[in-house]
Amino acid sequence: MAPTHSVAAVESLLTFLKGGGLQPGSKPGFGHSLRLSYNTLNKERVSVSDNKKTLTYRYCFAEHATHPSVGLYTALMDELTTDACFIAGSPHPPGVSLQMQTELLVKDHHKKPQEALPKYVDIVNTVTKLGRTVSHTRTDFVCASTQTLLAFSSHVKYMPTGSRLLDFLFTNKFVYRIYGQYLLPQQGDPKLYPKRELRKEVIGSSLEHHGLGRASFHITREHTNPFGAMHGGCHAMVMEQAAEAYAKVELLKENEAPAENKKCTGDSPLVLLEAMHIDFLGAAKGTVDVLCETIGKVDGEPSIHLRVMLMQNEKILSEGKLRYSLLS
């Protein structure tokens, strides 16, 4: 027998409470991998504007990325803009992502050694609109030492959970205050999980290639949000990594440049993802197929536009438009 709406709502709430969004004792999720969950967030690095519309977090890049990438920027934005909506709404439902997009501005990090990269970046998340059903946020990634704008993003979310009970609990200040004052302090010490390298260990270990432009991704609880579905930022990082090999082959073929003649630093690729736009169409659980195809190329420029889809049972769960360029 299928569970009733009320039972399903309670189960979803319990899953969320155990997922790291609100309480310390929680299972690993993608927020833990980013070091941005309740258990791992350095609260001393958080600042909130007087009008509660902007949340700024000083993030340590060197812990997680050999070179900052559009996929990683997008994943960080996804997690922190959700926190910004919570603060602006005081409190607010966590919502479901509808669209994300990120544009890279500083593109020469691949030429620099690890020690020359920015160690800290200020991630400035501004809630431009927080409606009853849809929220709009923007994010600027600023080098903490030079105040150089590295990249910028935008995020559109559908805010209701789909359950009247959950929406009531998430928006009722009295209930939320009781939780914060009486239930949360009774929890044990936060669980801390070992740091794992995002690109190789968290994403790469679950990504299986099946030829050019085709792959599968095996979703584990490490890749999920508190509700058990694949984290929106994880979609971005899977798309980026799965499409990289495809873009490399297509661009090198088009420009007739042998790979051995291309020089890059460390583990940096021969191609660079410059921009990404993702539309979210459904929740991803289990194993998903990743398909890449060429949208078009710009005449006279070493760049390519790709469509990357995460699919399950021939249903598109998310669709990304990615722009890659060939590194010089």
Burial of 79 by CB count in 10 Å (0-12 exposed, 13-18 middle, 19+ buried)? buried
pLDDT given for residue 94 in this prediction: 73
Q: Is residue 53 part of a domain?
A: no
Question: Is 316 part of a structural domain of the chain?
Answer: yes
Model confidence at 197: pLDDT above 90:
no
Q: Is the pLDDT of residue 218 over 90?
A: yes
Query: Which of the residue ranges 128-132, 210-214, 289-293 would you say has the lowest mean pLDDT?
Result: 128-132
Question: CB neighbours (10 Å) of residue 303?
Answer: 19
**Per-residue pLDDT reduced to its tens digit, 132-160:** 889 999 999 999 999 999 999 999 999 87
Share of residues in the chain with pLDDT > 70 (%): 74
Give 1's pLDDT tier (boundaries 50, 70, 90): very low
Q: Is the pLDDT of residue 25 over 50?
A: no
Q: What are the φ and ψ backbone dihedral angles of 107, each rounded to 5 degrees? A: -115, 10
Predicted pLDDT at 88: 85
3-state secondary structure of 203: helix
With cut-offs at 50, 70 and 90, classify the pLDDT of residue 58. very high
First-residue to last-residue Cα distance in the chain: 60
- What's the mean pLDDT when you consider all of the chain? 82
* Confidence bin at 102 (pLDDT 50/70/90): very high
Distances (CA, A) of 83 to 3, 46, 58: 30, 11, 14
Written as one letter, the residue type at 227 is F
Query: Distance between CA atoms of 40 and 43, rounded to whole angstroms?
Result: 9
Residue 80 lies in a domain: no
Q: How many domains does the chain have?
A: 1
Q: What's residue 297's pLDDT?
A: 86
182 within a domain of the structure (yes/no): no
Nearest Cα residue to 163 out of 81, 99, 227: 227
Query: Which percentage of the chain shows pLDDT scores above 90?
Result: 48
Candidate ranges 5-14, 112-121, 137-146; pick with highest mean pLDDT: 137-146
* pLDDT, average across residues 318-323: 98
Residue 17 has pLDDT above 90, yes or no: no
3 against 97, higher pLDDT: 97
Kindly state whether residue 304 falls inside one of the protein's structural domains.
yes
Read off the CATH number of the domain in which 271 is found: 3.10.129.10
Question: Minimal CA–CA distance to 302: which of 242, 247, 265?
Answer: 247
Domain presence at residue 183: no
Maximum average pLDDT range among 83-97, 102-116, 133-147, 156-170: 133-147
Pick the more confident residue, 71 or 172.
Answer: 71
Going across the sheet that includes 120-130, the strands are: 46-48, 54-60, 120-130, 134-143, 149-158, 96-104, 271-280, 315-326, 303-312, 287-297, 214-218, 207-209
Instruction: Flag whether 288 is in a domain.
Output: yes
Domain residues for 253? Answer: 196-328
Residue 87 has a pLDDT of: 83
Q: Which of 188-202, 208-222, 308-322 has the lowest mean pLDDT?
A: 188-202
Model confidence at 298, pLDDT cuts 50, 70, 90, reads confident
Q: Which residue has the higher pLDDT, 47 or 61?
A: 47
pLDDT of residue 77: 96
Note whether residue 37 is domain-resident.
no
Side chain identity, residue 319: E
pLDDT value at position 97? 94
For CA atoms 217, 247, 271, 258, the dihedral sign is: positive
pLDDT of residue 267: 46
